[in-house]
Amino acid sequence: MADMTSISAILGSIKAATDIAKLLKEADLSLEKAELRLKLADLISALADARIEAAEVQETLNRKDTQIRALEQALSI
């Protein structure tokens, strides 16, 4: 079930990034520069987490595809 955990982590990171982006979009001019930088850092972090998790899922799927091909080849022999 590691795949489902990874997918959940990806979705969580994307949701966090989306929420931060919405906050930044709706923020008025009174948003302090430091606060803006903090939110942008949070956004970048959430997107980086999603990217890492997506790469891990892709690697897992590639391993499983390789294993399936090997098992299919062994079955045909």
Tell me, yes or no, if the pTM score tops 0.85: no
Token pair of 40 as six digits = 């942008």
CB 47 within 8 A of CB 13: yes
Residue 41 Cα distances to 1, 6, 9, 68, 77, angstroms: 31, 22, 19, 41, 54
**Each residue's pLDDT tens digit, 38-70:** 888 888 888 888 888 888 888 888 899 999 999
Selection from 1, 9, 36, 3 nearest residue 21 by Cα: 36
Sign of the alpha-carbon dihedral angle for 42, 44, 47, 51: negative
Show the tokens assigned to 67: 């294993």
Q: Among 10-24, 30-44, 47-61, name the one with the lowest average pLDDT.
A: 30-44
Task: Identify the pLDDT of residue 1.
Answer: 46
